[in-house]
Structure formats: C-alpha cells, structure tokens
Structure 1
Amino acid sequence: MTRPLKIMLVAAEASGDALGAGLASALTARVDGPIAFVGVGGPRMAALGIDSPFDIAELSILGWLEGLKAYGLVKRRVADTVALAVAEKPDAVVLVDSWGFTIRVAKALKAVLPGVPLIKYVGPQVWASRPGRARTLAATVDHLLALYSFDAPWFEREGLPVTVVGSQAVHVDMDAADGARFRASRCMAADAPLLLVLPGSRPGEISRMTPVFEQAVAQLKARRPDLQVAVVAAGTVATEVAARIAAWPFRVQLVQEAEKYDAMRACDVALATSGTVSTELALAGAPMVIAYRFDGLSYAIMRPFFTGKYATLFNIAADAEIAPELIQADATAERMAAEVGRLLDDADARADQAARQTAALDLMGRGAPDPSDLAAEAVLAVIAKKNAGA
C-alpha cells in the first residue's frame, strides 16, 4: 500500500489557523492520491482532522513584557511541536506566520530532521522593522511563501527561494456590499455626507483611539452640522465600543460586524485605526485617513526597530502615501479633522485617492488566483524538488 503524502502544518494563532486550513483543503484537492495532515493549529484545522497537541490560544502573546513572561511556556510548546514532527516523520513542514514561535520550531527541526523541507508561509515584515530577520529565515528554512511582491526581494537577496502567493485580504468579496441599503436602513439621504469611523479590534486600540476620534469628529461636525457619523464595532470589542460612543455628545450610528461592508460602500470618507481594515476599505472604494497610537512605553521600545516608510499595506505596495497616515505624535484630533475635512470638501480628491488605492490593490495581487491554490502548488513543487534530488 502506498504511504500517503504527509504534510505537517504549524499555526500558532487564529489567522495562521485560517491560512493552514485553506492550504490543507487546497492540497487535498490538488493531490491525486492519499494525503495526510498532522500539526499544530486551531479550530479550522481541527475541523479538517488536524488535531493539535495543545491549545494555540496559549500562544496569543502580544508585547515585549508578555513575551518575556511566557518564555518558559513557549519553549515547552516548541518542544511538543518538534516531538510531534519526529514521531510523524512528515514529507514537509509548513510553518505559518507567528514569527516568534515558528522560527524556534524551524531551527529545532533543522537540527533533528535535516532532510525534511521546511517551508515558511508568511514571512516577517522586514520592510517595516528588523530587516536582519530575512537573513535568519534564509539560514533556517528552504522556501518562503510570501503574501506580497514587495516581500520577495528582501529574502531573495539572502538566497532564500520565494513564491509570492498573495493575500486572502485582497480576495474579500465586496460584490454583495450595498451602500444604498445601509443608508436606507438608517433613513439617511443618498447625498448626506457620511464619515465612517473604525476604531480597531483590540481593547488597547479602543481605549487609545476612541477618545481622539471623538475629538476629531466633534471638530468636523462643528464645521459641518449635516455630517453623518457611523462607527464600526468589531465583534471582539463591540460592547466596549458601544459603551464609549453612547457618551459622545452627538448622534452616531453604531455599525455591527455583519453590516460593515455595506457601511464601507456607503461612506464618503473613513477614519480608521491602522490595520487590515485599510485593505477592506480600499476594496470598497472608500478614501480614508489612517491613524494609530501605541502605548507610550511600547512605542519608545519599538521605535528604533521601525525602518519602513509606511504602515498601510497599499501605501507600501505603491511606495507612496496614498492614504494619509497619522502615527503616534501626528495622531492628533486636529490633524485627523484637517485630513478628513479636506477629503469631505473635495469630491475630486476623494475620487483620485480611491482610484489610487484601487491601483495599489492590483500591486498587492487583487484579481490573482486564490492564494491557497498557489501555496499548495508551491508546497508540492518543493517536495518534488527534494524527492528528485534524493
């Protein structure tokens, strides 16, 4: 009986779990023969029969201090992951995102299973900070599956083969999003100016960004009494967002996660906390202003490591500040109100920015084949190359 092709997938957070599940499904569809999966992951991978030896929620670690406190736990989970690989003897290991955890696993596997191809799915953001990680990765794994074309040169310069597979973020389906439906549901005139505020999806972002957003919106409404305002409450922080905006001294429409895309289509301008939501807004054709404030101590520690010019992915892809970015000291209510006000008052500026955002999305892989399919093809090519060499 032919031994099934065995792939080990290692994902240590929810986004990686989704990528791992997508890759497993694409591999199953592509392989003409038996295939088996083992590894570390969350509920999406578990639904495909990939049982994790531990709960990856333990590894949801953010920040330097939390990382130091969890060092012992991380070491134990790395050892558990390596032990699983040694027991299962996979034909390849795919390490998904989660730099701090997966690079430790990769180094250990390179030592104990030197003949097994190691494939990193999502590289560290060396274009934003710590470019030396490109050399570290090149010395540890055999191949990188990168999300964006601007990732590749950083790693290829270090001799690491790269396949650009694209990001699921630019494959979000906006076809069903309906701005007119959103306005009608709020009894809002079709030509009423609408500002959409997106304060973030983490508790720390809500506490830092919501007060300054309130101040900025107050300034905007003082000059534009007819301005309509809607605030998106991400599912993870919906209760806190609702409580905070209930105290705002002007009328605000609360937007639940399920109607977020309709609201993006409906708005004239968005004011958003930096994050993947910027890509969704661009897909919806919404011109935006991006803002972010870090905790003061964390920013002081991290600032020397930031080397990139921009924080927003489509700005990075275009190598231009298409959407204004107001970071840390620049993220004041006055600056936000000025940038948003400029767009609200100038229809041509809004149209120009939306068009430039759309063009940048094309640079990020919009319209390309499904990333999971491209990733599966690349994984199988790496395995075939290894087998041919053997």
Structure 2
Amino acid sequence: MTKQLCVMLVAAEASGDDRGAGLAQALRRRLGDGVRFVGVGGERMAAEGVVSPFDISQLSILGLLEGLLAYRRVMARVEDTVALAVREKPDVVVLIDSWGFTLRVAQRLRKLDPKLPLVKYVAPQVWATRPGRAKTLAAAVDHLLSIHVFDAPYFEAEGLPTTFVGNSALTIDFSVADGDRLRRRLGVRQDAPLLLVLPGSRPGEISRILPPFAEAVAILKAARPDLEVVIPAAPTVAEAVKAQAGAWAHVVEGESAKLDAMKAATVALACSGTVTTELALAGVPMVVGYRLGALTHAILKHLIRTPYITLFNIAAKAFVAPELVQDDCNGPALAREISKRLDDPELRRRQAQAQSEALVTMGRGGPNPSEAAADAVLKLLAERKA
C-alpha cells in the first residue's frame, strides 16, 4: 500500500489562504486520497481539510511598530506551527507569502530537520526594496514558487531554484459574477453609480485606511445623494468593518458577493494589495490609497526603489491608477480623484483599458498558478526521492 503524502501548508493572511486552498485542490486532483493536508490557514484552507491550530487573524500585522508590539505573539504562533510539523511529520512544507512569519517558521524547521523539503510560495518583493532578502530566503528554503515574471533573476543569483507559477489573482473567473444580482440583493437601482470601497484585510489597515476612505465617501455622498457604496469585507476584519462602516455602506461577505460587487462597480477606492489586480481583471477603474504607521513610512521611504506601490502600475511603469499614499491619502484628495472618474465615462474606459494591458505584462494568460504550483511541488519531491 502506497504511503499517503502529507503536505503542510502555512498561510497567515487572506490572500495566502486563497493560494493555499487552490494548491490543495490541485494536489488532490492529482493524488486523490493519496494526499492529506495539515498546516495553518483560514476559512478556505479549512474547507480543504487544513485544521489550523490558531486563528490567523492573530498574524494580520501591518507596520514596524505593530510588528514589534506583536513580536511575542508572533513567535508563539511560530512555535505552534513548528510543533504541528514535528507532530505530523509532513513530507513537504509550503510556506505562503507573509515574509516575517513564514521565514521564521522555515528557519526553525531547517534547524530541526535539514532534509525536510521547504517551499516558499510568493517571493518578497526584492525588486522594490531590501534586496538582501533574496540571500536570506535562499539559505532558508529549497525552492521558490514565484507569482511575478520578474522575480527569478534576483533569487536564482543567490542559488535558489525558482519556478514562475503566475498570480492566482489573474485567473479569477468573472464569468460567474453578476453585478445586477448584487444590485437586486441590496436594493440598489440598476442605473445608480456604485462606489466599491476595499479598505484591506488586516486590522492595522482598517484602523489606518478606513477613516480617510470614510471621509472621502462622506464628501462624495454630500454632493451625490444617489451614490451607493459597497464594501466587500474580508473574513479577518468583517466585524470591525461592519462596526465602523455599516451606517454608510452596504457591507457584504463571501467570495461570490465580492466578485458580484466588482462587476457592479462604477469606480473603486482600494487599499493597495492583491485586490487591485482583481479589480483590474474585472475592468473596474480605481483610485488606490494606502497609509502606514509614521515610523514604518519614515524608514521605508528610504528603502523603496520603485515610485509605485500597485503591481499593475509597476508592470506598466506608469501611474495607470492614481496612488495616494500616507498624507496624500486623505478624504478630500481621494474624493477629488474618485469624482473625476464618476463624472467622466471616457476616463473610466481609458483607465480600465490601460489596467487590462498592464495585466498582460504581469503574466495574464500564463499557467494556472495552482496547477503549476502543484506540479512544481511534486517535481521537487520526485527529485528528492530519486
């Protein structure tokens, strides 16, 4: 009887939870009952059989100061994760995104069992800041699964084998999304302008970014009484979003509702992150806003090597979508940029087209990420066995 393969998947944020679930599904398609999963994740990975020893919202940390304050808690969760690996004895560990947390897990596992195959899924953005992380990662893991076509040279130069698998955000199937369905469900007129607000999936993002977003909405609604506002809330912050925004926005939950909302939207106001790629794929023109803690921003502004924070802007080497960062991320400035797009259908059309073209540069139309990641993991295991 063939031994069942044990795969440990570790994700600490909503986007990583999505990738982990997709990878689990792809591996199960190949191996059926010949694989079992253990690890750390959220709701989507739980649906694939990953029973997490703790709630990953404990690891949703933004900024240096918040990271310092949470250090003991994070290290305790690192130990919990390592203990799970010791108990379950996985054949391979896949560490998804979340640089600080997953690096510490990798380093601990490497010391405990140098022969255990470790795979990092999603590279740190060394092309934007802190290139020394490439060498650090190369010493900690055996293989990198990259979501950007421009990642590989930085890591291969440090001796880390890298496989480009593509960005799962580029493969979302919007054919099943229905904007009219969302409008009917919420009682929103079909012809009413709809602003989609996406303030992030970490508690720190909600506390820093939702207030200026709320101020922008108040300014917009004062001038446009017919403007409808929808917030698709990530599971990690849904209750906080409802408490802070339930009085002025329709708050919806779940992946299906999020995709419907994206198809229904006239314009979006989005926190920088994976969601901007999803919006671009849905054809939604957007304004991007972001705020960090003052200390984090003061340090990072001397380290960042790109003028852009949005991936499709980086790919296009242009501000295809406007980015209002730090002090510029304030209610009046955000409202002005959104107003321009609400008032000008041609501007919306041009921006949506430019966003779409940038996605091609990012690798849209390439391999299915989950399938490619599954192939890479199984190939690594086959090479180790040989």
Q: Shorter-normalised TM-score: what interval?
A: 0.7 to 0.9
Letter in 2 for 1:283: L
Letter in 1 for 2:59: S
Q: CA deviation at 1:187?
A: 5.4
Q: CA deviation at 1:288?
A: 0.9
| Correspondence for 1:155 | 155
Cα pair distance change 1:91/1:349, threshold 3 Å: same
Cα deviation code 1:278-298 (max 9, x no counterpart): 223212211111112223344
Q: CA deviation at 1:328?
A: 0.8
Give the conservation status (yes or no) of the 8 Å contact 1:13–1:56: no
| Correspondence for 2:233 | 234
Give the root-mean-square deviation of aligned CA atoms: 3.4
Cα pair distance change 1:115/1:301, threshold 3 Å: same
Letter in 2 for 1:109: L
| Correspondence for 1:25 | 25
| Correspondence for 1:143 | 143
Instruction: Indicate the percent of aligned positions where both proteins have the same amino acid.
Output: 56
| Correspondence for 1:60 | 59
| Correspondence for 1:283 | 281
| Correspondence for 1:175 | 175
Letter in 2 for 1:60: L
Letter in 2 for 1:155: F
- TM (normalized to structure 1)? 0.81
**1:309 equivalenced with 2:338 (yes/no):** no
| Correspondence for 2:124 | 124
Cα pair distance change 1:344/1:136, threshold 3 Å: same
**Aligned partners of 1:316, 1:92: CA distance in 2, in Å?**
33
Cα pair distance change 1:67/1:292, threshold 3 Å: closer
Aligned to 1:337, which of 312, 332, 335? 335
Give the greater-gyration-radius structure (CA). Answer: 1
| DSSP 3-state at the match of 1:139 | helix
| DSSP 3-state at the match of 2:288 | strand
Cα deviation code 1:337-379 (max 9, x no counterpart): 3322332333222111101112222333434443221111001
Cα deviation code 1:248-276 (max 9, x no counterpart): xxxx6525236443343333322223233
**Aligned partners of 1:73, 1:209: CA distance in 2, in Å?**
24
| Correspondence for 1:264 | 262
Alignment map for 1:176-191 (pairs within 5 Å): 176-183=176-183, 186=187, 188=189, 190=191
**Aligned partners of 1:243, 1:102: CA distance in 2, in Å?**
31
Alignment map for 1:102-121 (pairs within 5 Å): 102-121=102-121
**Aligned partners of 2:182, 2:383: CA distance in 1, in Å?**
52
**1:254 equivalenced with 2:250 (yes/no):** yes
Aligned to 1:323, which of 321, 324, 327? 321
Q: CA deviation at 1:139?
A: 2.2
Give the conservation status (yes or no) of the 8 Å contact 1:42–1:55: no
**Aligned partners of 2:239, 2:51: CA distance in 1, in Å?**
33
Give the conservation status (yes or no) of the 8 Å contact 2:195–2:229: yes
Cα deviation code 1:228-257 (max 9, x no counterpart): 24242525555655565577xxxx652523
Give the conservation status (yes or no) of the 8 Å contact 1:292–1:326: yes
> What stretches of structure 1 of length at least 5 have no aligned partner?
none
Q: CA deviation at 1:327?
A: 0.4
**1:8 equivalenced with 2:8 (yes/no):** yes
Give the conservation status (yes or no) of the 8 Å contact 1:233–1:242: no
**Aligned partners of 2:260, 2:32: CA distance in 1, in Å?**
41
Give the conservation status (yes or no) of the 8 Å contact 1:193–1:226: no
Letter in 1 for 2:253: E
Letter in 2 for 1:188: R
| DSSP 3-state at the match of 2:370 | helix
Q: CA deviation at 1:149?
A: 1.6
**Aligned partners of 1:150, 1:136: CA distance in 2, in Å?**
19
Cα deviation code 1:31-59 (max 9, x no counterpart): 4884444444556555555555x325485
Cα pair distance change 1:78/1:369, threshold 3 Å: same
**Aligned partners of 2:362, 2:150: CA distance in 1, in Å?**
8
Give the conservation status (yes or no) of the 8 Å contact 2:60–2:202: no
Give the conservation status (yes or no) of the 8 Å contact 2:195–2:227: yes
| DSSP 3-state at the match of 2:140 | coil
Cα pair distance change 1:129/1:355, threshold 3 Å: same
Cα pair distance change 1:161/1:196, threshold 3 Å: same
- Using the TM superposition, name which of 117-126 and 149-158 deviates more: 149-158
Cα deviation code 1:195-235 (max 9, x no counterpart): 4333444454444444434544455567x657624242525
Alignment map for 1:347-362 (pairs within 5 Å): 347-362=345-360
